[in-house]
Amino acid sequence: MSLVISEQRVIARRVRGLLMANHLTQRELAESIGMSEQAMSNKLRGLKNFTLRDVSRMSSYLDVSLDYLTGNSDYTKPLEV
């Protein structure tokens, strides 16, 4: 199952921002989640779609919530009540 195009763009933008903030490369992220560097590049440029599996693995590696990556929250971590 893939995500809608608007979510794909949000995910790509947020992942690029997190890579810069954490001084990581696309290669490091791709390798850490079991993806080729070329596949990651294609997904970040919008040529291919992120899968739910990709997003789940990236959120774990980057230590942010799925809601943040998909644009459903502006907070990187869930708020505690």
Q: What confidence tens digit (pLDDT) does each residue in 16-65 have?
A: 999 999 999 999 999 999 999 999 999 999 999 999 999 999 999 999 99
The pLDDT value given to residue 3: 62
SS3 38: helix
Nearest residue to 15 via CA among 46, 2, 81: 46
Query: 51 - beta bridge partners?
Result: 2
Q: What angle do CA 64, 48, 50 make, to 5 degrees?
A: 25
- Cα dihedral value 17, 29, 55, 53, nearest 10: 170
CB neighbour list of residue 23: distance below 8 Å, 6 or more residues apart: none
